[in-house]
Chain A
């Protein structure tokens, strides 16, 4: 599930880091840049694992910082396709089930077509139901531990927000605060649903074979 990825990078070390040990200063800069971020087509970087190689620092005109070409290995969360994972159900709707790996990673999705055959969504319970046989109904409830197989990984290029979008965000936030000040308890009701940006890295899972689904079914 966790792999080490070898990456080369040109690191900018600002002058106030010159007093530090070089390898520590480089790791600090790299961690600032990579820790907790998704690297496109590589996975979710947790931390810098080690430095393999660092060249001599170079200067650029007009900048007091040193630029160092570094090769390092990053500790990356990258479940392989076909791997079995365990997570917690965070949300169920007619499209499928959302699963999170307990704060570490939130964007796992099990679409309806990748659940057991005969599964249906029950809006009354807000959960998916798997009729295993005639009179046993098994529920996919929120907060249960669920085991699934990784089917597909999706990487999306997420662009930074444009100035216009940022302005829109600010305006909306101000409006909301204004309403709160006026003592409106119906803020939630007429608030427009915010546009959801797709996650940079998402995993599609499936629950179709024996052993998948809630952990408690099989123990």
Chain B
């Protein structure tokens, strides 16, 4: 093994989730296929069987489950089950490619560093404290109005 380049490209959480979900469907590891297999247990079924590779399946499943959880979620006291479930899942699970590109271009007008932009797109900060933690020296680089605008862009997609 020889590592040619440690960081050839950066991927956002959204792209990773898309890639892994596609991989999961391709190898018939998604919920739908697993349920079908459970039903057909013991029977002889024609058609392709799921790809057998436990370490890969495990790594893919763990990564997807981590990406699907909304990390900014705070439990509320008066909340019914449905609302809770909706808020528990990460906004990136509801995004599609067009929205993602729009969001990406929306952030382009500010002079953010690559890693800062990536973190904003991954973590979707919806308050100032969180944004200040991600963006270094946020108060001297951006005006109050600009910061509010960044947060409103995030809120539009989150």
Contact = CB atoms under 8 A, between A and B. Distances in A.
Interface in B1-45: 1-13, 16, 19-20, 23
A42 B123 contact: no
B129 interface: yes
Q: How large is the interface on B (under 10, 10 to 19, 20 to 34, 35 or more residues)?
A: 35 or more
Contacts, number: 131
Given A5-B3, A210-B132, A75 B123 contact: no
Contacts of A212: 133
B39 to A, nearest CB: 27
Given A32-B55, A215-B72, A216-B74, A7 B1 contact: yes
A211 B16 contact: no
A71 B10 CA distance: 18
A82 B118 CA distance: 13
A37 B55 CA distance: 9
Nearest to B4: A6
B86 interface: no
Contacts of B73: 145, 215
Contact of A83 (B2, B9, B63, B119): B119
Interface of A: 1-9, 28, 31-32, 35-37, 39, 41-42, 45-47, 49, 71, 73, 75, 77-78, 80, 82-84, 86, 101-104, 145, 147, 149, 209-212, 215-216, 218-219
Interface of B: 1-13, 16, 19-20, 23, 53, 55-56, 58-60, 62-63, 65-66, 69, 71-75, 115, 118-119, 122-123, 127, 129-130, 132-134
